[in-house]
Structure 1
Amino acid sequence: MTAVERLLADDADRSPRADARRNLERLVAAARAALAEVGVEVTAQEIARRAGVGKGTFYRRIPSREILLEAVLAEVLAEALAVADRALTRPDPGQGFREFATAYVRLRAESCGVNEALGGAGFPGLDGVLSEIRSRLRQLVERAQAAGAMRPDIDWADVAFVLAGVTTDPHTIGLRADDRQWERNLAVVLDGLSGAPC
């Protein structure tokens, strides 16, 4: 279910006017962009400004900032879940895991808000999709291990923390990371996961 559909389902007015639906779509798109750039602390006023609507329009279409953010995060995390499901169908379990890991880390690197939500930013409505992502990650890891494509001495939960650590602060010891640093970090991690145990 998309964020717009989720918000419309919660609305007593199930078939809003075309302009009201367009405003809702603009608010969802603005919230998604603002979440990526600012994170979960983005204000309703900032979202409304980015959508090109007034704060009054925001609250006529959206019950609260938290409900909007949760709907947008649920939509983005459902996309990550779909990537995991596709990865589980790959004939090569190692390749399936690498595809998921790349998409997952890219999502964390490109969206501050998603990174915060995956880190437990406190959206109870996301518990179900987070549980499903954990389940798929476990399946992907165990499948890759059974095929000999991943070290057998690593627990699937360790992989969750390792992938979360691939996205780093933009500065360290006087160095500045570029926008693609996460890809190089991930390559090192994937190499380490697929190598023989020490």
Structure 2
Amino acid sequence: MNQPRSTVDRLLVDESGRRPRADARRNVERLVEAARVAVAETGVGVSAHEIARRAGVGVGTFYRRIPSLEVLLEAVLEEILDEITHLAEQALEDPDPWNGLCVFAAAYVRLRTESCGVSEALGGACGDALAQRLEDLRARIRRLVERAQAVGAMRTDIAWQDVPFLFAAAATGERTLGMQAGSQQWERNLQIVLDGLRPTQPSMLPGTPPA
């Protein structure tokens, strides 16, 4: 998989082909960085004013440098999904299919747990804008699952389509039913899920139970 151009480079495309000024590039870099943090913390409903505030620029600068809020959010989420898909590509290169699947699963669930925006994007909140990238990611998850099944490391009665839902279920909030999540709660959830995919004995769970 070829690495795509950075979000900053894509947003700085000038129809005249002129090289953007250094200050323009710095502003776009700050806006992209602020957008990634804001999307992680608050999701895809973040406003242009909030991103500009986090970047330390005025909202006027935002709209001079960025075509629209929607374009920026789409570009940021595309970059994040490209990174997740690249992680899946790396996992497919692991000579141990089960280990490759587990390593990818941990990265995938961690991102869903830590980033509200990633979770929303993977859940389809952005509609058709990210459809091709989601399709590319689905194709790689299918290959990861089929590799593990082919060597007998994973139950064959489970469809590959089940796996993204199981990984999403492992992501968790801090509280439920009045209980506080234990240490490494999502890792515990994921280990239980992974053990359920195996045709062998369960593993020792990380962290502590909820309180």
TM-score grouping bracket, smaller chain normalisation: over 0.9
Q: What TM-score results when the alignment is normalised by the length of structure 1?
A: 0.94
* 1:178 to partner: Cα distance: 5.3
**Per-residue CA distance 1:34-81 (angstroms, 9 max, x = gap):** 000000000000000000000000000111111101101111111111
Map of 1:49-198 to 2, 5 A cutoff? Answer: 49-177=53-181, 180-195=184-199
Q: Secondary structure at the match of 1:156?
A: coil
* 1:123 to partner: Cα distance: 4.4
Structure 1 unpaired stretches of 5+: none
**For the residues of structure 2 that align with 1:8 and 1:179, how far apart are their CA atoms?**
42
Identity over aligned pairs, percent? 61
Of the structure 1 ranges 80-89 and 177-186, higher mean CA displacement relative to structure 2 is found in 177-186
**For the residues of structure 2 that align with 1:159 and 1:177, how far apart are their CA atoms?**
23
**For the residues of structure 2 that align with 1:179 and 1:18, how far apart are their CA atoms?**
45
Q: Which of 1 and 2 has higher RCO (CA within 8 Å, sep 6+)?
A: 1
Of Structure 1 and Structure 2, the greater helix share is in 1
Would the aligned equivalents of 1:35 and 1:111 in 2 still touch at CA under 8 Å?
yes
**For the residues of structure 2 that align with 1:177 and 1:58, how far apart are their CA atoms?**
39
Would the aligned equivalents of 2:44 and 2:120 in 1 still touch at CA under 8 Å?
yes
What amino acid is aligned across from residue 156 of structure 1 in structure 2?
W
Give aligned pairs, total: 195
Would the aligned equivalents of 2:113 and 2:173 in 1 still touch at CA under 8 Å?
no
Structure 2 unpaired stretches of 5+: 201-211
Q: Residue 15 of structure 2: which of 4, 12, 34 is its match? A: 12
Q: Residue 44 of structure 1: which of 41, 48, 52 is its match? A: 48
* 1:108 to partner: Cα distance: 0.6
